[in-house]
Amino acid sequence: MLLRQLPAVHEVLQTETAQRLLQSLPRPLLTEAIRKALEKVRQKILQGDGAKVPTAEEVAAQAQGILWREVVPLMPRVINATGIIVHTGLGRSLLSQRAVQRIVEVATHPCALEVDEVTGERSFRDLRVEKLLCLLTGAEAATVVNNNAAAVLLILNTLAEGREVIVSRGELVEIGGSFRIPEILRKSGATLVEVGTTNKTRLSDYERAITERTALLLKVHQSNFRIIGFTEQVRLEELVALGRKHNLPVVEDLGSGALADVSRAGIEKEPLVQESVKAGADLVSFSGDKLLGGPQAGIVVGRKELIAQLRRNPLYRAFRCDKLTFAALEATLLSYFDEEAAWREIPTLQQISLSQTELKRRGRKVVRWLERLGMPKEAMSLRPSTSQVGGGALPDQFLPTWCIVITPREGDSAEALAQRLRVGNPSVFCRIQKDTLWFDLRTVLPEELRELTERIAAAWQGERVGM
Ligand SMILES: *Cc1c(COP(=O)(O)O)cnc(C)c1O
């Protein structure tokens, strides 16, 4: 009986692979993975389709694959070759070195998070970044919560609970992950008053909808979609003038929001936070981890008395960020005081501004390495393509880029190859286009090029991870 020839758990634990894993992993976890691997082999043998008895080393290799997927499903590190710079599924913006150093510092030492070191008294945790945000945006005051969805909910609940909020129909957006403006509005306790049509909303539409129940006028940046053709939306300045006339606050959800003008990379401009402040918005909210290039956070800048009201809402306490976020945000904002430093230091901005010459140079290097690793020339090419900013910003703007294009081997498929790349270590995400895999070099870090090359070559040749 073949089953009796299967290696025992203790034999597998003696293999080189297992011994290496045990240097950083508790024994019971590896034992569990080996048991699962052996069970799978047993099932195969029992099905009788000619499965061979694996060696102890082969079982260990299978156990290693199972280990990371089924036993300790830790978040794998990923090489992002999708060309989407702010990729929500892959964790959005990467942090600058400055931000990482600050995180390490406050993570390993106490910090004056909520006390004033001068008076020794208790204070708010966002007062320090508030100063930085005010200097950078020209706003009177600022506050920071967990993410922009929380910021919008906090604003609406604080200023409009039990009253009405006027929004243009063309701005009733859904952002990925079930954040829909009408639903957030309902949850906040406010009532939505839609004005205008999908493609056209005029100032008079807003004005006619204003009643004594109106709490505020809300403008939402369209972010992830564009309406083109016969369209009209009211500019923020006009809405502000209307708000002033009726003594109503005007709130703008900027979505991504940017502090640096991305049009210098040759694409359309994403609205700048400082422009919304200048246009007179009473509150402006935006994300910390989209184009800003910082940690996940929801930032609100605007009028002092309104920010003070937000801080008094019990939801503010529920939505607060931890010290690591403040550390990273502080450091990220600091880069913006010298715009050139921001473009140099913040990975999201770095990737947006990478030149085609540089991308092509990196591409040539990868192609050479792939050849050296034994991949045939016919299976690969270096081709021009386009990258996207992502994060729900500038959906119709494309940055010219260079991609490594890989054709799977005879008998393999693009989907199977892409899956092998995703489940390996480090995991690799790319684009699939008509039976070929496209690896956009814009979103691959220079120090990842080597690993990417090795992963592509191994996966192409048919490596199996686990079973
Ligand atoms: C992305 C986005 C949000 C949600 O921001 P998070 O930081 O992901 O919570 C809200 N509104 C708009 C317009 C957005 O683009």
pLDDT digits (tens, 9 = 90+) for 43-83: 988 887 777 889 999 999 999 888 888 888 889 999 999 99
Residue 59 resides in a domain? yes
Gap from CA of 4 to ligand 1 centroid (Å): 58
Looking from the CA of residue 287, the nearest atom of ligand 1 is 7
Please give the backbone phi and psi of residue 8, each rounded to the nearest 5 degrees, phi first.
-85, 160
Residue located nearest, by CA, to atom 6 of ligand 1? 148
Gap from CA of 121 to ligand 1 centroid (Å): 34
Instruction: Give the rounded distance of the alpha carbon of 138 from its chain centre.
Output: 27
Highest mean pLDDT, choosing among 48-52, 233-237, 356-360? 356-360
Residues 277 and 368 reside in one and the same domain: no
Residues 50 and 181 reside in one and the same domain: no
408: helix, strand or coil: coil
Residues 331 and 194 reside in one and the same domain: yes
Structure tokens at 112: 């004056």
What pTM was computed for the model?
Answer: 0.92
Q: Is the dihedral of CA 345, 346, 348, 349 positive or negative?
A: negative
Q: Which one of 155, 185, 220, 223 would you pick to mutate in the ligand 1 pocket, going by the greatest count of ligand atoms within 8 A of its CB?
A: 223
Rounded to whole angstroms, the Cα distance separating 51 from 49 reads 6
Among 218-227, 350-359, 428-437, which is the least confidently predicted range? 218-227
Residues 217 and 114 reside in one and the same domain: yes
Residue 129 resides in a domain? yes
What is the per-residue pLDDT for 206?
97
Structure tokens at 318: 């529920």
Residue 168 resides in a domain? yes
Residues contacting ligand 1 via CB (< 6 Å): 147-149, 152, 173, 175, 179, 220-221, 223, 253, 255-256, 287, 298, 392
Residue 466: pLDDT band (50, 70, 90) is very low
Q: Does residue 186 carry a pLDDT above 90? A: yes
pLDDT digits (tens, 9 = 90+) for 440-449: 999 999 999 9
Residues 432 and 285 reside in one and the same domain: no
What is the C-alpha radius of gyration for the chain, rounded to an integer number of angstroms?
27
Q: Is the dihedral of CA 200, 168, 262, 399 positive or negative?
A: negative
Q: Which one of 219, 223, 287, 329 would you pick to mutate in the ligand 1 pocket, going by the greatest count of ligand atoms within 8 A of its CB?
A: 287
Residue located nearest, by CA, to atom 1 of ligand 1? 255
Do 249 and 216 contact (CB within 8 A), yes or no?
Answer: yes
Number of domains present in the structure of the chain: 3
Residues 37 and 85 reside in one and the same domain: no
Residue 422 resides in a domain? yes
Rounded to whole angstroms, the Cα distance separating 12 from 27 reads 12
Looking from the CA of residue 150, the nearest atom of ligand 1 is 9
Do 180 and 276 contact (CB within 8 A), yes or no?
Answer: no
Residues 206 and 129 reside in one and the same domain: yes
Residue located nearest, by CA, to atom 3 of ligand 1? 255
In this structure, what CATH number is given to the domain that contains residue 357? Answer: 3.90.1150.180
Within 54-202, where are the H helices? 56-66, 97-108, 127-137, 148-160, 181-187
Residue located nearest, by CA, to atom 15 of ligand 1? 255
Residue 430 resides in a domain? yes
Rounded to whole angstroms, the Cα distance separating 35 from 242 reads 69
Containing domain of residue 34, as a range? Answer: 3-71
Structure tokens at 79: 């090489």
Do 140 and 189 contact (CB within 8 A), yes or no?
Answer: no
Residues 256 and 149 reside in one and the same domain: yes
User: Residue 405 is inside which H or E element, if any?
Assistant: strand 399-406
Q: What's the full length of the chain, in residues?
A: 467
Average pLDDT along the chain: 94
- Which of 375, 296, 356 is CA-nearest to residue 332? 296
Do 197 and 170 contact (CB within 8 A), yes or no?
Answer: yes
pLDDT digits (tens, 9 = 90+) for 5-16: 899 999 999 999
Residue located nearest, by CA, to atom 14 of ligand 1? 255
Residue located nearest, by CA, to atom 2 of ligand 1? 255
Whose tokens are 């940017």? That residue is 258
Residues 234 and 296 reside in one and the same domain: yes
More confident residue, 277 or 269: 277
Residues 330 and 437 reside in one and the same domain: no
pLDDT digits (tens, 9 = 90+) for 159-175: 999 999 999 999 988 87
Please give the backbone phi and psi of residue 324, each rounded to the nearest 5 degrees, phi first.
-65, -40
339 class by beta-carbon count within 10 Å (0-12 exposed, 13-18 middle, 19+ buried): middle
What is the per-residue pLDDT for 48?
79
